[in-house]
Structures are given as structure tokens and as C-alpha cells.
Amino acid sequence: MLEYTHNFKKEKLMFKSVFTKYLTTFTLIILFSFIILIIVVSSLITNYSRESKWKMMDKSAEMAASSLQAYLSLSGEDDIHMVISRFHMKISNNLDNIAKLADSTVFIIDAEGYLITSSNENLIRKDRFFSEDILKNIKEGKSDYYKISKMDGTFDQLMLNYFYIIRGDSEYGADVKAIIMVSSPDITVTDNDLTSKMIKTIISVSLWIFLAALISVYFISERIVEPLKQISTAAKNFAKGKFDARVTVTGHDEVAELAETFNNMADALARLEEMRSTFLANVSHDLRTPMTTISGFVDGILDGTIPEEKHTYYLMIISSEVRRLSRLVNSLLQLSRMEAGETKLKIVDFNLSEKARQILISFESKIEDKKLEIEFNNDDDLYVNADTDAIHQVIYNLMDNAIKFTPEGGTITITLKPHIIDKRNKKAVFSIRNTGPGIPAEEIPFLFERFYKSDRSRGLDKTGTGLGLYIVKTTLRNHGEDIKAFSEPGKYTEFTFTLPLVEKNTDKK
């Protein structure tokens, strides 16, 4: 119970950890995205509003300048103070209308920097309106310095300022008759309410998006974590020797691929465990049976139960059983060396055709006992570059299996032929086919696995350990080659492998 609780807490912690990572990541992405969005949108709105405001102020300044120049022409006076004093009411009304149009304040300043009049009577001052530095810069066309400013304390807040200079006949300096300045509070001050509403709207939308993202993250995390929890539980069962747990596969993404791969691994482990159990049972039986036979016959000879004239017969049986034990032990030792990587190949050129004939002759008695028909197809002797002892065992195992599973009176066909791929890639192809019950298609992929016996249901191979074909495949892979199996149930079984083909050496017999 304590172990289950501990595992449950670990799984919940893993879930929270993954969920927290996803949630934190999505939250930060959304947060930074909307902060950037607010900054960009605010900047765009501010810039657009300022540009629109500049155009209106520019238009207002031109209108005020045109009106003032008209009164200057009408009066015939050069003194700006005299003209404004004479037409004060009309000019004041014009400035008021222009100021309302631009939502700004219009100022008329003389060449000395004193305010003459403005659209806002409350702002008329008798002292100098501009400092000498500001006046000098404006006269020299450097008014951009004051486009957004407080005009060195003239205003209490940032203002947008536009300047229009009315000149006489010359271009600069003392010939400046008047300066028209159109001022309006900066858009960032006047549009606080707009910006505030915009930010509130974006935040409100962000919260809804965040909620949707939170729900999405929850289901995505659950989708990812659930298979991981199943894999974790199954792995713990595997550690206890239980290989029946599987992970539910849903979808076609990487998580589904991981789950499917895990299930394939579980199937392989289950098969391996089953084959291991079968192997141990077979080995135990194969060891116990001959040892029991040997022990019984030896005891019978020693205590006189077996008469002396039959000693030779029973000693031959004991010798056969000893050889059987020796073959089993040798197979196990060879398997152990292969898996440890201790098997070293001695690569030489030898006659593969002659090797096949010699091995075939060694099975002569078994072939005659089962009245088998042998077909040996080989036009010319083939020479290969390989380990002669290793290939001897490969061919021996294949022929032994063919003879074992061919019914009485059946046919075994051995074929050796060259396969020329190109000048640098030439192969000798060895194939052995036997008639008989064949092998079901679903068992073909497992034939070359350790401890696998394809005839478990038929019981034809009562002495095998399921190592022969595994040793064959491992040996050929060590040579850089492969073996393939083909079968049609009820008709035949065929094994085919290749070896590097070399030119015939006429010096060798």
C-alpha cells in the first residue's frame, strides 16, 4: 500500500511538473506577446495621432498666416502691433475659429519674442514669451528642437508645437515680422483615456485567450502524460517479470509513436521471456534425459542387470547420448562466445561447392533412413571468401533442419549459383529447399531469434534447443551477409544466404 501511494505521488508529481512547464511556457509567451502588442499598438496609435495632429496644426498655421498677411496688406502698415491693434476683434475671431478647428491654441509672437495675441486671452502675457535662445533657433529654422517640448518652461506640460514665420523682403534675421505658433497638448497626455481603454481591452482579450490556452495546455499535457504514466507502470511490471502490460496508442504523433515502440518492445520481451522459459525447459529435458539414460545403463552394466553380451550395444547408446550432450554444451558455449563478441573469423578462400558436398555426404545414413530424394544443382564450383569452419556449421545446421522436417520420401533441393551485381560486387548464392509442412507466414519473422522453435505445435523437433538458426544468422551477419527464409505451408520451406564470390584458384584441389 505504501509503495502504491509512493508511485501514485510520483506520477502526480510528474504530471504537475509537465503541466507546470507547459503552463509557464504558454503564460510567458502570451504575456510577452501581449506586452509587445500593447507597446506596438500604442506606438502606432500615438504616431498616427501625432501625424494627423501635425497636419491639422500645419493647416491652421497657414490659415492664420494668410489671414494676418491679408490684414497687413489691407492696412498698408509694416508694424505688426499696429495692424493687430487696428483689426484686433477680427483677428481674434479668426484665431478663435482656427484654434477650434485644430483643437489647439494659436499664438502670434513678434520678432522680439513678445506675445502679441492668441486664441486664448488668458495666456496673453506682457513679458517675453520666448527666450532669446528659442527665438534665435526658430528664426534660423531650427524649430524641430521644440516640436514636442515645454518651451523651456513656457508651458506646464509637453506640447506639440508648430511654427510659421512671416517674413518681409529678405530671408532671415531682423526682417522677421511675426511668428505664428500653433500648440496643442501632446497626444500621450490628451489620449490617456484612449490608451487606457485600449490597454484594458487588450488585457481583457488576453485573459480570455489565456483561459483558452490553459484549457488547451491541460488537455495537451494529459494527452502527453497519460501514455508516459502507462509506460512507467508497464516498465515497473516488466521489472517484476510481468510482460502483459501494454500502452494505449491514440493518434499519429511522436507520443503515439513512442507508445507503439514501447508496445513492440514489450512484445519482443514477452516473446524472449517465453522462448527463454521454453529454452530452459528444453535444455533441462535434453540434459536430464541423456543423463538418466547414461546413469541407468551404467548402473545396469555395473550391477550385472545387463548381460555381458549386450554391453557393447548399450555402450554405443551411452556414447550417442554423450555426443548429444556434447553438442548441446557446444551450442551453448558458442552462443555465449558470440554474444560476448569473442568469436574471431579466419577468412580464407575455399570451395563452397565441395564443402556442401562433403556435409551432404555426412548425412547419408539419415537420408537413406527417410528415403529422401536429393537434388544438387551446381554448374561450376563456387569459391568464396569466408571462415570455412563457421560456414561449415551454417550449412550443416541448414541441412540438418531440412532433413529433420522433410517427411519420408520427400525431396531436398540444394542450389549453388553465382550472382554478379557489378565488377566489385559478386556473390555466391546458397539455397536449400525441402518439401514438407512448411512454416506459417506469421512465424517467419521470428525464425532466427534465440530459443525460437517453429514446430512447437507439431513436435517434430524434440531434440532441438532453438539455437541453430540464431547461430546461423549471427555467423552470416559477422561475415557481413544475411539469410532469408521462404515458405508455403503444406508445400516447401527454403533458406537462402550469400557469401562473397572469388575467382577460382586452380592451384587448390
pLDDT digits (tens, 9 = 90+) for 113-140: 888 888 876 666 666 777 788 888 888 8
Most confident of 23-32, 57-66, 424-433, 454-463: 424-433
Query: Which residues have C-beta within 8 Å of that of residue 146, sequence separation ≥ 6?
Result: 134, 137, 138, 161, 163
Secondary structure element (H or E) that encloses residue 110, with its range: strand 105-110
Instruction: Give the mean pLDDT of the chain.
Output: 79
Domain ranges of the chain: 25-193, 246-343, 344-502
DSSP 8-state secondary structure symbol assigned to residue 175: G
Q: Which residue has the higher pLDDT, 451 or 47?
A: 47
Q: How far apart are CA 160 and CA 152, in angstroms?
A: 14
Classify the C-alpha dihedral 170-172-173-176 as positive or negative: positive
Beta pairing, strands 159-167 & 176-185: antiparallel
DSSP 8-state secondary structure symbol assigned to residue 249: P
Q: Which of 9-23, 136-150, 177-191 shows the lowest per-residue confidence on average (mean pLDDT)?
A: 9-23
* Percent of all residues in the chain with a pLDDT value above 90, rounded to a whole number: 17
- Axis crossing angle, helix 388-405 with helix 352-362, rounded to the nearest 10: 40
pLDDT digits (tens, 9 = 90+) for 232-250: 777 787 777 777 777 777 7
Query: Which residues have C-beta within 8 Å of that of residue 257, sequence separation ≥ 6?
Result: none
Query: Which residues have C-beta within 8 Å of that of residue 167, sequence separation ≥ 6?
Result: 175, 176, 177
pLDDT digits (tens, 9 = 90+) for 349-370: 999 999 999 999 989 988 999 9
CATH architecture under which domain 25-193 falls: 2-Layer Sandwich (3.30)
C-alpha cell at 306: 545387463
CATH class of the region 246-343: mainly alpha
Q: How far apart are CA 31 and CA 375, in angstroms?
A: 80
Secondary structure element (H or E) that encloses residue 17, with its range: helix 2-75
Classify the C-alpha dihedral 325-328-329-330 as positive or negative: positive
Distance from the first to the final alpha carbon of the chain: 75
pLDDT digits (tens, 9 = 90+) for 410-420: 999 999 999 88
Q: Rounded to the nearest 5 degrees, what angle is found at the Cα of 33, between the Cα atoms of 32 and 35?
A: 60
Beta pairing, strands 411-422 & 383-387: unpaired
> Has residue 441 got a pLDDT over 80?
yes
Give CA separation, 223 vs 8, 162, 211, 253, 429, in Å.
Answer: 18, 62, 18, 11, 51
> Has residue 307 got a pLDDT over 70?
yes
Average pLDDT over residues 292-307: 85
Query: Which residues have C-beta within 8 Å of that of residue 68, sequence separation ≥ 6?
Result: 80, 83, 84, 91, 108, 166, 178, 180
Classify burial at 192, counting beta carbons within 10 Å of its beta carbon; exposed 0-12, middle 13-18, buried 19 or more: exposed
Average pLDDT over residues 336-352: 78
> Has residue 165 got a pLDDT over 80?
yes
Q: What local confidence, expressed as pLDDT, does residue 305 receive?
A: 85
Secondary structure element (H or E) that encloses residue 433, with its range: strand 425-435
Classify burial at 288, counting beta carbons within 10 Å of its beta carbon; exposed 0-12, middle 13-18, buried 19 or more: exposed
Quick one: how far is CA 453 from the chain centroid? Answer: 39
Give residue 391's pLDDT band: very low, low, confident or very high (50, 70, 90).
Answer: very high
Edge-to-edge strand ranges of the sheet holding 115-118: 115-118, 105-110, 176-185, 159-167, 148-149
Q: Which amino acid is at 333?
A: L
Give residue 348's pLDDT band: very low, low, confident or very high (50, 70, 90).
Answer: very high
> Has residue 85 got a pLDDT over 70?
yes
CATH number for the domain formed by residue range(s) 344-502: 3.30.565.10
- What's the number of CA atoms in the CB half-sphere (13 Å) around residue 357? 10
Closest CA to 499 of 394, 429, 397, 399: 429
Q: Hey, how many other C-beta atoms are within 10 angstroms of the C-beta on 299? A: 11
Residue 173's region, left for phi above 0, alpha for psi from -120 to 50, else beta, is: left
Q: The pTM is what?
A: 0.45
Most confident of 248-257, 292-301, 474-483: 474-483
